[in-house]
Amino acid sequence: MNSFLNTIWSSIGKKWVMAITGLSFCGFLVFHLLGNLTVYGGPELFNWYVEHLHSLGVLIKIAEWVLLFLFLVHVITGLLLAYENYRARPVRYAVSKTAGGRTLGSRSMAITGILILAFVVFHLLTFRSAGQKEVGDLMILTNWFHRPEMVAAYIMAMAVAALHVSHGFWSAFQTLGAGHSGRKSKFKTAGIILSLVVAFGFGCIPVFISMVS
């Protein structure tokens, strides 16, 4: 095997893959959120944003394929790591207690990851395919968020995503070997702030739409 594949397949290599793809999604979330904020500007601003997004044409297509690729890599590598880690302790402890290192976010990465995967599939099936039928963009949102169960589901999905980010963001820097990392690093605080931004930024949108519509 050549040196590149050898590196990627090592334990640290796989974690670098997780870190780089994961940080890309953090970036994506921020841009997605900035775009979504146009909802607060009323239907005109939001529809203007959606049209501009569509008018990017092939660029958007490329971005979508890149995101899909990164997503698949992140999911598959993550599942592989989780499986390997499960196998690394064939006999479990009868009693196991945390010493205080783990957080709710860190211990639930696999579960929140799978929930996010389910959410993304659902989200794409509903909004993206609906968006291509050109029904009128804000209408799609208002139709969906008319239903309280949809609002609840979206808020819950965002809470899950925030939990994932709360560990993932910091963890990526630690894995990439950032100086001044460690358990009490600034990256950890930054990750928690980002997760709150994600939770509130995205989470408030369905509430807002269901209230104004």
Partner 1 sequence: MSANASKLINLTLKVWRQKGPDVKGGLETYEAKDISTDMSFLEMFDVVNEGLILEGKDPISFDHDCREGICGACGAVVNGRAHGPEEGTTLCQLHMRHFDDGDVVVVEPWRSKAFKIVKDLVVDRSALDKIIQAGGYISVNTGGAPDANAIPIAQEVSDLAMDAASCIGCGACVASCPNASAMLFVGAKVSQLKLLPQGDIESAKRAVTMVETMDSLGFGNCTNEGECEVECPKGISITNIARLNRSYFKARSLFKKGVN
C-alpha 103/C-alpha 126 separation (Å) is: 33
Q: Could you tell me if 112 and 164 are in contact, meaning their C-beta atoms sit under 8 angstroms apart?
A: yes
Q: Could you tell me if 169 and 197 are in contact, meaning their C-beta atoms sit under 8 angstroms apart?
A: no
User: Among residues 55, 88, 129, 133, which is the contact residue for partner 1, using CB under 8 A?
Assistant: 88
Nearer of residues 16 and 49 to partner 1, judged by Cβ? 16
**CA torsion through residues 145, 147, 151, 156, sign:** negative
What does the per-residue mask of binding to partner 1 show for 6-35, with x meaning CB under 8 A? xx--xxxxxxx-------------------
C-alpha 105/C-alpha 196 separation (Å) is: 13
Token pair, residue 120, equals 């993304």
Residue where the block lists tokens 């958007």: 60
Q: Could you tell me the smallest distance in angstroms from the CB atom of residue 91 to partner 1?
A: 5
Piece of the chain touching partner 1 by CB under 8 A; list 1-9, 118-126, 149-157, 203-211 = 1-9
For partner 1, the binding residues in 177-196 under the rule CB under 8 A are 177-183
For partner 1, the binding residues in 93-112 under the rule CB under 8 A are 93-102, 106-107, 109
Where does this chain bind partner 1 (CB under 8 A)? 3-4, 6-7, 10-16, 81, 84-85, 87-102, 106-107, 109, 167, 170-171, 174-183
